[in-house]
Structures are given as structure tokens and as C-alpha cells.
Amino acid sequence: MRKINEIFYSLQGEGAHTGTPAVFIRFSGCNLKCCFCDTSHESGTEMTDEAIISEVDKYPCRMVILTGGEPGLWIDDALIELLHKAGKYVAIETNGTQPLPEAIDWVTCSPKEGSTLRVKHIDEVKVVYTGQDVSPYLSIEAKEHFLQPCSCQNTEEVVAYIKAHPQWRLSLQTHKLIDIA
């Protein structure tokens, strides 16, 4: 059984896959308590893998995004294998503090200050910018490095930072800007 906060269908609003239709599986709970977290993820329902797949299969897209909370607390090889057998491309949004199954197709890591990364492979680093020193995150090997305004509040500051540090790309919370789930 896995504790699921919600499963819903929308467009990916952040990072490299912005605009892509996806089924989001939001897991309950997180091992970090970030002051800027904008997601209510503590409540949830216990679901079997079969029930999760049944819900995911209701939607016409191929992409599934595992998110939370921290999905790394709940997932394993068996769930990833079932999603692949269902024909899904599996992406995850993680804080990187938990080891992950190697078969995940795309790993978005949003590292947090003071935490230790335990993931072996990262496709995309996405840092919520609150004015902190983000230069150490450039040493994380990944295809993409994104800075994201904190809840759409400091966009001008982030744009200025990226213009001065062009190794970064801008990620906006498009879903919030266009008011979709």
C-alpha cells in the first residue's frame, strides 16, 4: 500500500516538460519541512499498486509524474515496472534525499540547502530561488539547471540573477500563472 494524496490530470507547469499533458501522482508526506512549500500533501488514502494503475489508465496521456511531498519515500521498482508495463513514461519530482529506482525515465531534483543528495542520476536540477547561494547546485551533473521564483513572488530577482549567471534557465510555475491544477 502507498499513501496517495491525489491523482490528477493536467499539464506539467514547471521545468523541461512544461506544457506536457501528464497524470500527477501526488504522494503524502515529506522528510523535509521547507518554509516555502506550497503543496498540502499530508493527508492521503492508502492505495494498492493496482488501484493506482487503474486510476492512471483513465487518462489519455503517456507521461506520469510522481510528486509529493516526497515520492521517494513511497516508490519502488515494482511500481515503476507496473507503470512502464502500462505504457507510461515515468518522471519524478524529488528533493533527492532518498535513493530512487533506476528505471525512472526522467528525474527532476529540487535540492534543498543542507540536505544530502542520495540519487544516482539527475536529468534536471530545479532550485526554488529565495536569494540563497545557488552556485553549488551547478556542480550537480544534469542535462538542465533551472531557477524558479518562489511561488511567483520574486520573478524579477530570478530573471536578473539568470542574466548575470547564464548557466541557469528560468522555470516558471506556469500552472499557477494560467490558473490550472
Positions marked active-site? 24, 30, 34, 37-39, 93, 175
d(CA 140, CA 78): 28
The separation between CA 34 and the C-alpha centre of its own chain, rounded to angstroms, equals 15
For the beta carbon of residue 153, count every other beta carbon within 10 angstroms.
Answer: 11
What does the block give as the cell for 169?
534557465
d(CA 178, CA 174): 6
**H-state helical runs in the chain:** 49-56, 77-85, 155-164, 174-177
**Cα dihedral across residues 47, 55, 34, 141: positive or negative:** positive
For the beta carbon of residue 118, count every other beta carbon within 10 angstroms.
Answer: 13
What does the block give as the cell for 35?
518554509
Close Cβ partners of 133 (under 8 Å, ≥ 6 residues apart): none
